Amino acid sequence: MLKQFLSKLPRKSSKSESIDSPRHGSGSGSFSPRSGLQRSNSANVGSGRPNAPRRMSSAVFPASVVAGIEPLLAFKDVPSSERMNLFVSKLSLCCVVFDFNDPSKNSTEKDLKRLTLIELVDFIASGPPRFTEPAILAMCKMCANNLFRVFPPNYRSNTSSSENDDDEPMFDPAWSHLQIVYDLLLKFVTSTSLEAKVAKKYVNHSFILRLLDLFDSEDPRERECLKTILHRIYGKFMVHRPFIRRNISNVFYRFVFETERHNGIAELLEIFGSVISGFALPLKEEHKIFLWRALIPLHKPKSLGVYFQQLSYCVTQFIEKEPKLASTVIKGLLKYWPITNSQKEVMFLGEVEEILEAINMGEFQKIMVPLFWRIGCCINSFHFQVAERALFFWNNDQIVNLIAHNRHVIVPILFPVLEKNAQSHWNQAGAQLNPKCKEVIHRDG
């Protein structure tokens, strides 16, 4: 019986097969006759129960999806020495992609594939022996077939995210399978049975680029899965780290300077937040260039609010690593300071306050004149939230201390602004803050 089973396992893939080919068209994909899987009887398929699908002793799979499919033997039903072969065979089955736009189409096959995917997840979680190269290749090919796809034109937003906050995101109808494939890939990448030196041949640059493309998915669940997986790949495959950083930077460049449309900026920044915290000191020039050319320009797009929290965290991480970068960051913020977008202006003021809390006196003195000229403009802003946020700086003891030590430079800039605001600003709440600010200036003078 075992010989009969082994004779029906799929043959080793030829070298010419690509593991990162795009997902098949949404139709009724079919198994290749070369897979060594035979056609099943549709009556046998129909008798299978969802929680305990019927198993046939010879691991029957059809040559065509149309006739229906049956799962292979359970892992517990084969010797431990043959389980890796069974793992490859199950992965080959799961390479078939079904059309989920019609829920009634191939429902039995979809259920059997889902159960097979769950079996694979449980197998990896059980701590299998070291993954062989054929197993790694089969795993990468299955993930490529199921995950790597081009989003339809209407999938992408035609306007910036800030203008479409009320729009419902587009969800892939195949998510019930995609979610398990992502879980499987995560467990595979983090498994102690996977050796990075062997796997890097298959989890290669092309594979990583296709993963990065998927970050533009509108489904936040998918982006969350991708974020975790890419972070784990970054941690495990040290040889790929420069490549990952460089290509995430390229995503940021295209977003800022070309399209201003991308759904996954927040998740990519969240990955970088963890990466920056692991940078060794002194910082490499490459990392400083990333701060100046990628992170600071990310303050420019209108959709800043979507990823501002993650961006601010990344910038703060850089300053904590190297405090001398504080003046560089503030110069960059002044360069991209919003003039007509009051919501962004409030966010900029919040980030400036956070930086000033950590800045040293030498760096502060490099930027205090242009910075407080801009703060003065904010105090006189006709938008009361901008004016109020700027006046709140005087509630921060660290900022008050910086002003006090440099009052001979800062007070001549601010005092006329505060006088004008107190006399003519239309918002009473903002005007009432002026006496408190002037009192602080006189008290510390």
Contact 306, 344 (CB under 8 A): no
Contacts 24+ apart (CB under 8 A), 382-386: 382/426, 383/342, 383/345, 384/425, 384/426, 384/427, 384/429, 384/430, 385/342, 385/346, 386/342, 386/345, 386/346, 386/349
Its domain, for residue 311, covers 204-322
Average pLDDT taken over every residue of the chain = 80
User: Residue type for 43, please?
Assistant: A
Report the interhelical angle of 361-379 vs 397-405 (nearest 10°): 100
Amino acid symbol at 234: Y
Q: How far apart are CA 395 and CA 311, in angstroms?
A: 25
17 in a structural domain: yes
Q: What percent of the chain has pLDDT over 90?
A: 53
Q: Does residue 213 lie in a domain region?
A: yes
Co-location of 65 and 51 in the same domain: yes
> Are 38 and 134 found together in one domain?
yes
Among 288, 322, 356, the domain boundary falls at 322
Q: What is the DSSP string of 48-74?
A: --SSS----TT----SSGGG-------
Same domain, 36 and 124: yes
Confidence of residue 78 (pLDDT cuts 50, 70, 90): confident
Residues 219 and 197 both lie in one domain: no
Q: Which of 322, 352, 368 is the last residue of a domain?
A: 322
* Whether 116 and 221 share a structural domain: no
Residues 198, 214, single domain; the answer is: no
373 assigned to some structural domain: no
Residue 78: phi, psi to the nearest 5?
A: -125, 155
For the segment 430-440, the average pLDDT, to the nearest whole number, is 54
Q: Tell whether 260 and 273 lie within a shared domain.
A: yes
Q: Give the Cβ contact number of residue 324 at 10 Å.
A: 13
Residues 6+ apart with CB under 8 A from 344: 299, 302, 304, 305, 338
pLDDT in tens, 115-153: 999 999 999 999 888 999 999 999 999 999 999 998 876
The count of domains in the chain is 2
What's the DSSP call for residue 256? I
* Residue 78 falls inside a structural domain: yes
Same domain, 222 and 279: yes
Burial of 108 (0-12, 13-18, 19+ CB in 10 A): middle
- Residue 431 falls within a domain, yes or no? no
| Position 442 in a domain | no
Mean pLDDT of 306-322: 95
pLDDT of residue 52: 42
Torsion sign over Cα 338, 379, 311, 223? negative
Q: Which of 322, 349, 378 is the last residue of a domain?
A: 322
| DSSP secondary structure letter of residue 167 | S
Asked if residue 430 is part of any domain, the answer here is no
Nearest to 204 by CA among 144, 135, 150: 144
pLDDT recorded at residue 425 = 56
d(CA 209, CA 197): 19
Helix or strand or coil: residue 70? coil
Q: pTM of the entire structure?
A: 0.79
Greatest Cα-to-Cα distance within the chain, rounded to the nearest angstrom: 95
79-88, 110-119, 181-190: segment of lowest average pLDDT = 79-88
Residues 64 and 181 in one domain: yes
Residue 177 has a pLDDT of: 92
Q: How far is Cα 149 from Cα 25, in angstroms, rounded to an integer? A: 9
Least confident of 13-17, 139-143, 348-352, 386-390: 13-17
Q: Please, are residues 445 and 401 in contact by the beta-carbon 8 Å criterion?
A: no
DSSP state, residue 106: T
User: Do 110 and 253 share a domain, yes or no?
Assistant: no
Say if CB 286 and CB 240 are below 8 A apart. Answer: no
Verify that 146 and 294 share a domain, yes or no.
Answer: no
Residues 177, 98, single domain; the answer is yes
Residue 226 maps to a domain:
yes
